[in-house]
Amino acid sequence: MKILIVDDERDVEDLFRQKFRKEVRSGELELAFAFSGDEALEILSAENPPKVMYVFSDINMPGMTGLELLEKVKKRFPSIQVSMISAYGDQENFQKAMESGAKEFFTKPIDFNSLKKEIGKLIDQHKN
């Protein structure tokens, strides 16, 4: 199963590769990274249908925000699930994300145990 992580902070890639090393090695998970909303849409549009099953996006990014990306992904690729991440657990962003179709909302620092459970459920659904 392929997931796309979207964050303008490039060190996030190393963090995710470290935390999901076992899942990637076993072939259960393939990680892709985009460092802007536009780059994320390019990756999703490159394959028809996209191989990405899950998008995990930061909300606060220069250019296209994560909330704008969420709306575009849900409109163009309704079967892809999207979760949002924010350094600020503010109610307004949470509300906007959930109303726009986000599956989950995580705050930084990321609780990787919760995220692994979420992704584990998706892997199980993907297998069936």
CATH level 3 topology of 2-127: Rossmann fold (3.40.50)
Kindly compute the dihedral angle of the four CA atoms of residues 67, 68, 72, 78, in this order, to the nearest 10 degrees: 10
Q: Which long-range contacts (CB under 8 A, 24 or more apart) does 106-114 make?
A: 110/15, 110/85, 112/19
Cβ-based neighbours of 104, under 8 Å, separated by 6 or more: 83, 84, 118
- In this prediction the pTM is 0.93
Q: ω into residue 49 within 30 of 0, thus cis?
A: yes
Q: Where are the domains of the chain?
A: 2-127
Tell me the pLDDT tens digit for each residue of 84-110: 999 877 889 899 999 999 999 998 888
Tell me the pLDDT tens digit for each residue of 10-58: 999 999 999 999 999 999 999 999 999 999 999 999 988 889 999 999 9
How many angstroms separate the CA atoms of 111 and 109, rounded? 6
For the four alpha carbons of 22, 25, 31 and 33, in that order, the dihedral sign comes to: positive
Tokens standing for residue 90? 């503010």
